[in-house]
């Protein structure tokens, strides 16, 4: 049996965030913000609670053990208006966030 006839092992599929969400597109800026939050350990989701948000952030599952995650907390000091870092991240990428329910916030174009 020659080398060409041997079956090659299938490459493992890598999970990646699709830039499309339903009938809308997640713009590049939303993807950049998503990546920052994901890297910080935040629980970010797509197509879970809102059909119009680029993505959602679970504030119920706040990973307090991660050093960067508290910077992006939505319920800062019980005021529910977000941390400075979260609001600055949204501003930097032309986005805003709002509460969908008591545990989830949605991220939208500003």
Q: Which residues in the chain land under pLDDT 50?
A: 8-24
Tell me what pLDDT residue 10 has: 47
Beta bridge partners of 57: 44, 105
pLDDT at position 67: 58
Please list the residues that pair with 21 across neighbouring strands: 24
CA 29 to chain CA mean position, Å: 12
pLDDT attached to residue 28: 94
- Tell me the pTM: 0.70
């Amino acid at each position: 049996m020659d080398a060409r006839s041997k079956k090659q092992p299938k490459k493992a599929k890598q999970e990646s965030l699709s830039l499309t969400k339903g009938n809308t597109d997640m713009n590049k800026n939303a993807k950049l913000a998503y990546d920052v939050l994901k890297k910080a350990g935040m629980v970010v989701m797509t197509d879970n609670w809102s059909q119009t948000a680029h993505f959602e952030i679970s504030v119920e599952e706040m990973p307090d053990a991660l050093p960067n995650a508290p910077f992006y907390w939505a319920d800062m000091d019980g005021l529910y208006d977000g941390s400075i870092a979260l609001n600055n991240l949204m501003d930097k990428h032309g986005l805003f966030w709002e509460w969908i329910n008591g545990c989830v916030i949605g991220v939208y174009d500003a």
